[in-house]
Amino acid sequence: MFSLLNSMKGQQRSEERRARRQRELIRQEAKIGGELFGPVPQGVRREFFCLDEFTWVWHEEWLDEHGNRQSLTTRYDIRPNGVLKAQDGQPYRYVTIDEAKHLYKAAELYLRRIKGLYPSN
């Protein structure tokens, strides 16, 4: 009985460690992605990351001229018939061909840069 409980506790801790590691990797990837387009200015937080195989997120936070925190989150959903984009709760709309090409190039660069986070097999 006790060995079963200890085994379950150990499994739960292992899952928690795995989840923490996954969150940390996403944070590291997001930071690397935010630096793809040049240095991030002082006081600005910029992130770009792959949420899953079909979803990319661009997030930026900054202080406006009055010292108020502003933010913008853009979500790109890759679909067979195009790329849908939504910003801060607005409805989705299809992006232009040029914007889709820019997203594709950014995704390629992102994937090359984050490779260093993962050991080679």
Residue 93 Cα distances to 62, 76, 99, angstroms: 25, 10, 12
CA atoms of 94 and 55, how far apart (whole Å): 14
pLDDT 10s digits, 9-61: 667 788 888 899 888 988 898 999 999 888 888 889 999 999 889 999 999 99
Domain count, the chain: 1
Range of the domain at 52: 2-117
Residue 25, judged by CB atoms within 10 A of its CB (0-12, 13-18, 19+), counts as middle
Confidence tier at 107 by pLDDT (50, 70, 90) = very high
Q: Is the pTM of this model over 0.75?
A: yes
Q: Give the side-chain half-sphere CA count within 13 A for 56.
A: 20
Q: Which amino acid is present at 7?
A: S
